Amino acid sequence: MSDLEELERSILADIAASDSEQAIETVRVSALGKKGSISEKLKTLGKMSADERKVMGPAINGLKARVTDAIAERKGALHDLAIEARLASETVDVTLPVRRSPAEAGRIHPISQVVDEITAIFSDMGFSIAEGPDIETDYYNFTALNFPEGHPAREMHDTFFFRPDADGERMLLRTHTSPVQIHTMERHSPPIRIVIPGKTYRCDSDATHSPMFHQLEGLVVDKSANVANLKWVLQEFCKAFFEVPHLNMRFRPSYFPFTEPSLELDIQCDRSGNEVRFGEGTDWMEILGCGMVNPNVLRNVGLDPDEYQGFAWGIGIDRLAMLKYGMPDLRAFFDADVRWLNHYGFRPLDVPTLFAGLTG
């Protein structure tokens, strides 16, 4: 076997053994590079005689051509194998369910969503959000709100009391968010426009009542607040919350110790189908209580009722959520059932705004 045949066999063996594009490139350089084995053979042609060049020239160039073709073929095969391997490693099983993004995995509880909806509406009207402690004194929860000691109206609230302290006074879990109204009026001078969302507590439990529930109260105090203002604020709120263009309302006389006159608000609805529809039909539904702030409450916080007057209202946030989103049982709000939350909950990025729509 001649030197060229031996060299060709060796190079072709190296080409066949190459298992990567980098390996085949190494073989190419060692054979066809400037100092490669075939290139060195080509350099010897200049020292040969004319007769020798006639024989060796075609032989060496033929070897070069065959090696070049073999390298190109092997490189193409290795490239295809690399693509197949990558496709195999990146294969997506289209029979599997699509994985939810982190932003889709959790759910906002309906109560949190409704609180955000309510605060968006009242913030647009110029109201501030006020908060206060869940544990209160008898004075702030009852006395300052015109519930005198022994007054029968105290029996309207089934209250959770703590044990008496050294002075015989008992703290309690607030039965409404009204104490925040007193705290606010003590700390700030009118005009006052606040809404107060928060937890409240009463000894009550059934399909529509819970020992812990959520309430929203509103308070406006200035020198010209009147019933007409109260009616407008509540009508605009109800239209925006239930997302209807028109809503009839009616007010009925009622009694609350902290307001005078006191009113119950009914709103127009239709109960003829499987769901309650607001802003249409001939039925009525009581939605909240309201009234003008009792002069005694103003006096208790150092305001002159001859100079200032105000109006207030209170509404159950849990009940609003049930009415708007068709939830039949209040107790499910507190069961921590993930299936229920996935059904009734809201996506984390569905932030309610009046511009985009409270519920999208």
CA dihedral angle for residue 123, residue 116, residue 243, residue 235, rounded to 10 degrees: -40
Contact 158, 203 (CB under 8 A): yes
Backbone angles phi, psi at 14, to 5 degrees: -65, -40
Instruction: Return the residue matching tokens 């289209």.
Output: 94
pLDDT of 153 over the 70 cut: no
Q: 226-252: per-residue pLDDT in tens?
A: 999 999 999 999 999 999 999 999 999
Over residues 67-82, the mean pLDDT reads: 88
In this prediction, residue 60 carries a pLDDT of: 82
Per-residue burial over 88-114, b if 16 or more Cβ lie within 10 Å, else e, is eeeeeeeeeeeeeeeeeeebbbbbebb
330 pLDDT higher than 90? no
pLDDT of the residue at 1: 44
Angle 147-153-157 (CA atoms, 0-180°, nearest 5)? 100
Residue type, 99: R
- Report residue 220: phi and psi, to 5°: -130, 130
The per-residue pLDDT for 103 is: 66
What average pLDDT does the segment 80-97 reach? 81
| CA proximity to 287, closest of 333, 251, 240, 329 | 251
Residue whose tokens read 């699509």: 98
Q: How confident is the model at residue 254 (pLDDT cuts 50, 70, 90)?
A: very high
Mean pLDDT check: name the lowest of 22-31, 258-267, 311-320: 22-31
Peptide bond into 295 cis (omega under 30): no
- Decide if pLDDT at 357 tops 70: no
Tokens of 346: 């809201």
d(C-alpha 8, C-alpha 23), whole Å: 18
